[in-house]
């Protein structure tokens, strides 16, 4: 079957690009190996309960942010519940820290817990940087540059506030903490490191100021809950695609992409498809294996990261009774001595909304728990029970659950993530930020400067729904500018 554009994988980057291209009248097909859309931002059913696959928090709907741009461009509407309190953090010294959505409230809370020294100027600086980063990211959709046309388009869109961001690419978050006299505040550095892991997948000595400030401030923008789970995002875009003549084909696991004179042949077990253009929405490591064109492989090879520089995840899916009393949905729990087997010093907990009856029964809630597993190809978790007990024990001690209320529990290692998502090494969260990889050195959207493109959490700008949404916007923009 002939298409204008085939997208590999139905992660949110692919779906964002697909929606924008379908809006322009292109015949679009998304090939997805699973039976649900959304990739690592989706929901699956088990034993009558709906659990999140990966991502559990939704941001990006504020002015000058990618998801807001996507919805405004397409007219897609989402049924959302805004969270009055984005998160609470259970610190290693036993204190409970509330990440308020209002900047002034948050600064007062940070000063209460960490001391007044340096907190106000640090957070004001971070918030200002994060606002400028999001605004600039949509103004400069040709970034990172890979041809002269990109440079010309960027020059036309240059604004003074954009230039002020450049020094931040050369400074790390460790430099920022030093600047504000905060590096010797161990409680604060522990907090910053574990918060950066959630969104930047790395620690303060590696994450540059631009990404780090933006990562730390995501709770200061609108945070939302999707009734029914994150799959609601993908379903809304799927409906839009159908309305525009596009489609998502499930159980289509792509195993080869061949470059042709007039486009590409995309092969999977269900058959082969012809297309003028192709967009890979899967990680670069997996994209590399799909292309038979040695020129594409050669261009991709310098961008690939090995397992030792990536993270996998240990996750738990729990159904609880009698959990309605917990009002804040998202919690980061510090583990001072680290978790057994993997050494992680925190884990992230997300509850379903107490008013959401579509994911669990009356007086029941589902819970998603995740923690990082470094170098997932090298670390084999033999005894999941030991990890489960360590996490459940910590949660019970903090009043986040009672073991007797558990109705269902399942856990998964990076090996399960390989099976579910087909992502190399069972990688989650995309490529971590590293200080020796500047934003302009990250992989841009073009694969072969002919008709193949890439988006997702391993290319610029990186992790999270809002980040991969931006990558999809950029891929669609460059394809349209190059060829349409």
Tens-digit pLDDT profile for residues 294-331: 999 999 999 999 999 999 999 999 999 987 788 999 99
Residue (of 166, 93, 23, 40) closest to 420 by Cα position = 40
Question: Does a structural domain hold residue 271?
Answer: yes
Bridge-based pairing of strands 311-321 and 271-280 is: unpaired
Question: Does a structural domain hold residue 11?
Answer: yes
Residue-wise pLDDT for 229-259, tens only, equals 999 999 999 999 999 999 999 999 999 999 9
Question: Does a structural domain hold residue 100?
Answer: no
Write down which residue in 196, 218, 240 finishes a domain.
Answer: 218
Quote the pLDDT of residue 303.
97
Residue span of the structural domain in which 279 resides? 2-43+62-80+226-305+435-483
The reply to whether 124 and 202 lie within a common domain is yes
The reply to whether 475 and 382 lie within a common domain is no
Number of domains in the chain: 3
Please classify residue 308 by burial: count the beta carbons closer than 10 Å to its beta carbon, then call 0-12 exposed, 13-18 middle and 19+ buried: exposed
Q: Give yes or no for a cis peptide into 336 (omega within 30° of 0).
A: no
Residue (of 258, 269, 291, 279) closest to 29 by Cα position = 279
The reply to whether 244 and 205 lie within a common domain is no
Residue (of 228, 176, 186, 175) closest to 42 by Cα position = 228
Query: Rounded to whole angstroms, how far apart are CA atoms 335 and 209?
Result: 26
The reply to whether 416 and 339 lie within a common domain is yes
Percent of the chain with pLDDT over 90: 92
Q: Is the pLDDT of residue 181 over 90?
A: yes
The reply to whether 301 and 311 lie within a common domain is no
Quote the pLDDT of residue 376.
94
The reply to whether 17 and 157 lie within a common domain is no
The reply to whether 123 and 214 lie within a common domain is yes
Contact 365, 351 (CB under 8 A): yes
Distances (CA, A) of 139 to 16, 69, 136: 17, 11, 5
Which token pair is 20?
A: 């924008």
Query: Rounded to whole angstroms, how far apart are CA atoms 295 and 175?
Result: 39
Question: Does a structural domain hold residue 101?
Answer: no
Which token pair is 389?
A: 């007990």
Question: Does a structural domain hold residue 91?
Answer: no
CATH of the domain at 283: 3.50.50.60
pTM above 0.75, yes or no: yes
Query: Rounded to whole angstroms, how far apart are CA atoms 198 and 192?
Result: 10
Mean per-residue pLDDT, 391-420: 93
Q: Is the pLDDT of residue 338 over 90?
A: yes
Distances (CA, A) of 49 to 146, 232, 276, 420, 436: 45, 15, 41, 18, 43
Query: Rounded to whole angstroms, how far apart are CA atoms 193 and 206?
Result: 10
Residue-wise pLDDT for 61-97, tens only, equals 999 999 999 999 999 999 899 999 999 999 999 999 9
Contact 58, 233 (CB under 8 A): yes
Quote the pLDDT of residue 333.
98
Q: Is the pLDDT of residue 35 over 90?
A: yes
Q: Is the pLDDT of residue 383 over 90?
A: no
Question: Does a structural domain hold residue 85?
Answer: no
Contact 129, 209 (CB under 8 A): yes
Contact 455, 472 (CB under 8 A): yes
Quote the pLDDT of residue 275.
98
Quote the pLDDT of residue 433.
97
The reply to whether 347 and 239 lie within a common domain is no
Q: Is the pLDDT of residue 270 over 80?
A: yes
Residue-wise pLDDT for 95-117, tens only, equals 999 999 999 999 999 999 999 99
The reply to whether 138 and 214 lie within a common domain is yes
Distances (CA, A) of 213 to 69, 84, 86, 131, 220: 21, 22, 17, 10, 11
Query: Rounded to whole angstroms, how far apart are CA atoms 384 and 428?
Result: 18
Write down which residue in 176, 195, 218 finishes a domain.
Answer: 218
Quote the pLDDT of residue 420.
81
């Amino acid at each position: 079957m002939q298409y204008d554009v085939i997208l590999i994988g139905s992660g949110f980057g692919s779906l964002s690009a697909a929606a924008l291209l379908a809006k322009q009248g292109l015949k679009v097909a998304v090939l997805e190996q699973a039976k649900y859309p959304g990739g690592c931002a989706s929901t699956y059913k088990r034993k009558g309960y709906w659990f999140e696959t990966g991502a559990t928090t939704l941001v990006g709907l504020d002015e000058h942010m990618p998801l807001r741009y996507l919805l405004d461009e397409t007219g897609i509407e989402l049924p959302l519940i805004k969270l009055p309190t984005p998160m609470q953090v259970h610190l290693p010294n036993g204190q409970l820290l509330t990440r308020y959505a209002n900047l002034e409230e948050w600064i007062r809370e940070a000063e209460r817990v960490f001391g007044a020294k340096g907190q106000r100027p640090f957070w004001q600086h971070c918030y200002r940087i994060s606002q400028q980063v999001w605004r600039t990211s949509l103004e400069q959709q040709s970034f990172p540059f890979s041809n002269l046309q990109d440079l010309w388009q960027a020059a036309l869109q240059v604004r003074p506030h954009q230039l002020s961001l450049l020094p931040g690419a050369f400074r790390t978050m460790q430099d920022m903490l030093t600047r504000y006299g905060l590096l010797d505040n161990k409680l604060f550095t522990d907090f910053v490191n574990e918060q950066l892991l959630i969104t930047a997948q790395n620690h303060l000595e590696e994450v540059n100021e631009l990404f780090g400030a933006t990562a730390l401030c995501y709770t200061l923008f609108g945070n939302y809950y999707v009734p029914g789970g994150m799959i609601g995002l993908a379903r809304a875009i799927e409906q839009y695609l159908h309305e525009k003549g596009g489609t998502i084909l499930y159980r289509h696991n792509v195993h080869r992409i061949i470059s042709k004179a007039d486009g590409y042949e995309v092969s999977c077990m269900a058959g082969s498809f012809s297309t003028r253009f192709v967009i890979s929405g899967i990680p670069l490591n997996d994209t590399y294996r799909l292309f038979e064109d040695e020129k594409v492989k050669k261009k991709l090879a310098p961008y690939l990261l090995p397992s030792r520089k990536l993270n996998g995840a240990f996750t738990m899916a729990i159904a609880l009774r009698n959990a309605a009393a917990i009002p804040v949905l998202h919690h980061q729990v510090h583990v001072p001595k680290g978790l057994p087997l993997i050494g992680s010093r925190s884990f992230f907990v997300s509850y379903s909304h107490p008013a959401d009856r579509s994911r669990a029964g009356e007086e029941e809630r589902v819970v998603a728990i995740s923690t990082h597993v470094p170098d997932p190809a090298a670390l084999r978790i033999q005894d999941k029970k030991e990890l489960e007990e360590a996490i459940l024990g910590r949660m019970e001690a903090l009043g986040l659950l009672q073991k007797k209320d558990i109705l269902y529990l399942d856990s998964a290692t990076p090996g399960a993530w390989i099976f579910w998502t087909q992502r190399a090494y069972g990688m989650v969260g995309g490529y971590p930020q590293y200080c020796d990889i500047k934003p302009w050195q990250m992989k841009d959207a073009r694969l072969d400067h002919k008709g193949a493109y890439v988006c997702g959490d391993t290319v610029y700008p990186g992790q999270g729904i809002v980040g991969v949404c931006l990558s999809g916007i950029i891929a669609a923009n460059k394809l349209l500018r190059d060829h349409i």
